[in-house]
Amino acid sequence: MDLTSLYYFSELVKDLHMTRTANRLFISQQTLSNHIQRLEDYYGVRLLHRKPSLSLTTAGEFVLAFAEVMMKEQTNLKDILSDIEQQERGVLRFGASALRLNMCLPAVLPQFSARYPNVDIHITDTITPRLEPLVLDRSLDFAITLNGEEHPKLVTHHLMDDQVYLCVADSLLQSYYGEQAPMLKRKALSGAHVEDFSKLPFCIFDNRMGRQINQCFESANLIPRAYITSTYTQAGITACFQGLAACFCSQANLVSQRDNIPSDINIFPLLYRNEPLSQRLSLIRMKDRYLSHYSKFFLEQLFGYFSDVERTRMERLGQISD
């Protein structure tokens, strides 16, 4: 029995398909089969039912649990030994949505890479619902998630309450509201209600934030005039900055684009039932995962970045007065 065979076995269980797993691991199907047979010979039991399709036997379930513990301890041991020898090398696996990676990585990576040039960084770009399972199966060390419930195996660090803002160009307000535009802007300084801007065309997002915003329209019994509908937030922001439509944008996203915001863009805090609408950003990691020196440094940089974002005064990023 060796760790390689246990690793291949645990990976096969994810797919329960020899060819698919072999291709994913860049090994031959025969090599994978040989490792599984080696484990079965060592323990003297069948780990998998072969027909009608691959499935775990009861013995296989116990060996899988053992393999997962061994893989976890192997990773922790490598990091511990690296810290002891002050090698400052290893692998850091981090995941988030493309939007949040584009926000934080330009601020975090330069300092991290300068401090730990021998640490490889593996980035996973995917949607929030897929991130927690990747942390739980140890494919990722850390991930940024939205509004999730705490899991007993995970440590959840609050990053920020990412407030949502309505962004609209002066020219668009003037076009649709004329002489009423200045009064509308003054009213929205303390918070914008979608019903006050119902004449405008909007960029509609087919994502989690978009579903939150849709609640604002539903509570006001409104159907927004859609200029574009997209899962790609940046497409809406571009249209907004060109004065084509109003859009909704989170504080973190606005801060990351502060140098590109045109001077005539108004930024108003969006209200839902008279309360600011926001998304809770969190970082998750496994409780039993050893934190190496470089992992701690990465987290410190990440926490510092989001702390700075949360403290940014939004009125300095756009035009919100007459």
Q: What percent of the chain has pLDDT over 90?
A: 52
Q: Quick check: bond before 52 cis, omega within 30?
A: yes
Residue identified by tokens 């300084």 is 189
**From CA 139, how far away is CA 8, in angstroms rounded?**
14
Instruction: Judge whether 89 lies within some domain.
Output: yes
pLDDT over 50 (residue 321): no
263 and 131 in a single domain? The answer is no
pLDDT score recorded for residue 109: 95
168 and 273 in a single domain? The answer is yes
Cite the beta strand spans of 126-270 per DSSP E: 142-146, 154-169, 201-205, 225-230, 247-250, 265-269
Cite the beta strand spans of the chain per DSSP E: 48-49, 55-56, 90-96, 119-125, 142-146, 154-169, 201-205, 225-230, 247-250, 265-269, 271-272, 275-276, 278-286
Task: Round the average pLDDT of the chain to a whole number and report it.
Answer: 88
Instruction: Judge whether 321 lies within some domain.
Output: no
CATH code of residue 58: 1.10.10.10
pLDDT over 50 (residue 9): yes
Token pair, residue 321, equals 């007065």
CATH code of residue 96: 3.40.190.10
Instruction: Judge whether 118 lies within some domain.
Output: yes
93 and 11 in a single domain? The answer is no
| Best-predicted range by mean pLDDT (6-10, 166-170, 254-258) | 166-170
pLDDT score recorded for residue 182: 93
Name the domain boundary from 18, 49, 73.
Answer: 73
pLDDT score recorded for residue 319: 54
Instruction: Judge whether 87 lies within some domain.
Output: yes
Which has the higher per-residue pLDDT, 322 or 232? 232
296 and 243 in a single domain? The answer is no
Considering only 107-111, 127-131, 238-242, which range has the smallest mean pLDDT?
127-131
Which residues are 246's β-sheet partners? 202
For the stretch 142-177, pLDDT in tens is 999 987 677 899 999 999 999 999 999 999 999 999
273 and 303 in a single domain? The answer is no
pLDDT over 90 (residue 288): no
User: What are the C-alpha distances in Å from 8 to residues 41, 47, 315?
Assistant: 15, 13, 54
286 and 301 in a single domain? The answer is yes
Instruction: Judge whether 99 lies within some domain.
Output: yes
Name the domain boundary from 28, 43, 73.
Answer: 73
pLDDT bin (cut points 50, 70, 90) of residue 322 is very low
pLDDT bin (cut points 50, 70, 90) of residue 187 is very high
Name the domain boundary from 73, 92, 111.
Answer: 73
152 and 293 in a single domain? The answer is yes
pLDDT bin (cut points 50, 70, 90) of residue 52 is confident
With contact defined as beta carbons under 8 Å apart, do 102 and 165 qualify? no
Among 232, 214, 211, residue whose Cα is nearest residue 223: 214
141 and 192 in a single domain? The answer is no
117 and 152 in a single domain? The answer is yes
pLDDT over 80 (residue 86): no
**From CA 298, how far away is CA 75, in angstroms rounded?**
18
Task: Tell me the Ramachandran region of residue 186: left when phi exceeds 0, alpha when psi lies from -120 to 50, beta otherwise.
Answer: alpha
Rounded to an integer, the average pLDDT of 304-322 is 73
93 and 108 in a single domain? The answer is yes
**From CA 230, how far away is CA 226, in angstroms rounded?**
10
With contact defined as beta carbons under 8 Å apart, do 239 and 203 qualify? yes
Whole domain around residue 15: which residue ranges? 3-73
169 and 251 in a single domain? The answer is yes
Which has the higher per-residue pLDDT, 50 or 78? 50
pLDDT score recorded for residue 148: 66
pLDDT bin (cut points 50, 70, 90) of residue 74 is confident
Rounded to an integer, the average pLDDT of 85-105 is 86
Instruction: Judge whether 113 lies within some domain.
Output: yes
248 and 178 in a single domain? The answer is yes
Instruction: Judge whether 16 lies within some domain.
Output: yes
**From CA 158, how far away is CA 202, in angstroms rounded?**
31
For the stretch 196-217, pLDDT in tens is 999 999 999 988 889 999 999 9
pLDDT bin (cut points 50, 70, 90) of residue 271 is very high
pLDDT score recorded for residue 285: 95
Considering only 60-64, 76-80, 300-304, 307-311, which range has the smallest mean pLDDT?
76-80
The domain tally of the chain equals: 3
